[in-house]
Structure formats: C-alpha cells, structure tokens
Amino acid sequence: MEFSNQIKEQRKKLGFTQEEIAKQLYITRQTVSNWEQGKSYPDLNMLVKISDVYKMSIDSMLKEDTHLQTHLEQGKAYNAFSVLRGLITILYGLICLLIERINDNSPITQFCLWGFTIIFLIAILYGEHIKPFFLGIDKKVAWRLGHRPGQKRSLIGKSFTVLLVIIIIAMFVVRNNDNASNYLLTLALTIVGLADIFQKYMWKQK
C-alpha cells in the first residue's frame, strides 16, 4: 500500500483530522493533505515523528511503498549534490578573488576562469532543474507551490538570506571600488555555498 493511503487510513482509524495531525507534528494541514494525496513525501526526520504519532513502524511504511524508499534515497543524493555544489560555489568565489589579486590576464588563467564559470553555472542551473525530482515532488506541483511545499525557511535560513541581501546592497554601494567589490562578491558566493552545504538546516516544516 502506498504511503499516502497508509497514513490516510491510519489517521481515520485513530480518529484524527488532518488539522489534529498537523498540530501534533507542528506542520500545516496542507502538508498533511499533500502527503495523503501523494503530492510530496516527508523527509527521514519527519518520518520518525509520523511513526510516533500514527503508531506505525518505519519499516512497515518503507516496505509497503517503494516510492517512499526511493524518495529517501533521492534525498540523500540531493544532500550530497548540494554539498558538492556548495563547495564549487565557494571555490569559484575564491578563484575569482585570487585571479583579481594576482592580476594575471594570461590566456591559461582566463581559460581556467571561464571554464570554472561554466562549471559553476551548470551546477546552479542543473541543481534547480533536478531539485523537484530529488525532493520527491511532482514538477507541476513544484512550479505551482514552490520546490518545498509545506516548508518555510528556518531562522538560520532567514539569517543567511538577510546577510546575503546586505552584502548585495553593499556591493552596489561600493561598486566603484573594485577591491571592495571583489571581496564582497567572494563573501556572497561563500554564503551561498554554505547555504547549499547546510541546506537541510535552511528549511523547516510549516
């Protein structure tokens, strides 16, 4: 039996409404509804909480729904990809700063810079393209509700966003100072990279 049907039947058997389940899991009713309609899946941490509230073993939920197993594996794969993309972003920022500092405009240096720029852009764009797949969300749902329906930015995520906005504003203010702009660009890319590496801490259930 699919995970969506499992939790729907078990919820009714326990006599809970979606709102009551949502309160116990500290999420929105819409998130519970999305699970029951098969529009999205919970992550492993939430699955542990679901096991307690629904009085169902994690093993039984996993064994009866191969899609849920796949989703959790995809989640691990996406975390690994996010770490790699974050490291690429940070490295790109450091390379840009280093090349500017040594003021080397040789063909080899420019080739390396543009080559890494292409790798950086591919990592960013490809990551956004495959994100719904790795998070187990239908692409149409992701387009309509965002890549993380039922989730919102955590305090850490909001802090990173505010800091990034401040740096971007500072870059605009000192745009005529190349040295300061380059340092701020590297700092901005470092923050984006760290947000990717620690992306699971950037979000929480609504």
pLDDT for res 201: 82
DSSP 84-127: HHHHHHHHHHHHHHHHHHHT---HHHHHHHHHHHHHHHHHHHHH
| Any domain includes 134 | yes
Same domain for 182 and 155: yes
| Any domain includes 155 | yes
CATH number of the domain to which 51 belongs: 1.10.260.40
Same domain for 86 and 40: no
| Any domain includes 71 | no
Phi, psi angle pair for 146, to nearest 5°: 95, 165
The answer for residues whose C-beta is within 8 angstroms of residue 203's C-beta and 6 or more apart is 148, 151, 152, 153, 154, 157
Phi, psi angle pair for 190, to nearest 5°: -65, -40
Range of the domain at 159: 80-205
Same domain for 131 and 37: no
Same domain for 130 and 200: yes
- Which of 200, 85, 86 is CA-nearest to residue 154? 200
Radius of gyration, CA atoms only, the chain: 21
Number of structural domains found in the chain: 2
Which residues does the chain have with pLDDT short of 50? 144-145
Same domain for 148 and 52: no
- Which of 115, 53, 34, 126 is CA-nearest to residue 85? 126
Is the whole model's pTM more than 0.85, yes or no? no
| Any domain includes 36 | yes
| Any domain includes 94 | yes
Same domain for 46 and 111: no
Same domain for 60 and 85: no
In the numeric block, which tokens belong to residue 137?
A: 């969300």
pLDDT for res 14: 93
- Fill in the DSSP letter of residue 153: E
Same domain for 8 and 87: no
In the numeric block, which tokens belong to residue 73?
A: 């594996």
| Any domain includes 69 | no
Same domain for 166 and 108: yes
Q: At what angle do helices 3-14 and 44-54 cross, to 10 degrees?
A: 30
pLDDT for res 145: 46
pLDDT for res 52: 92
- Residue 88 to residue 1: CA distance in whole angstroms: 41
Same domain for 135 and 40: no
**Residue 181 near residue 84, CB atoms below 8 Å:** no
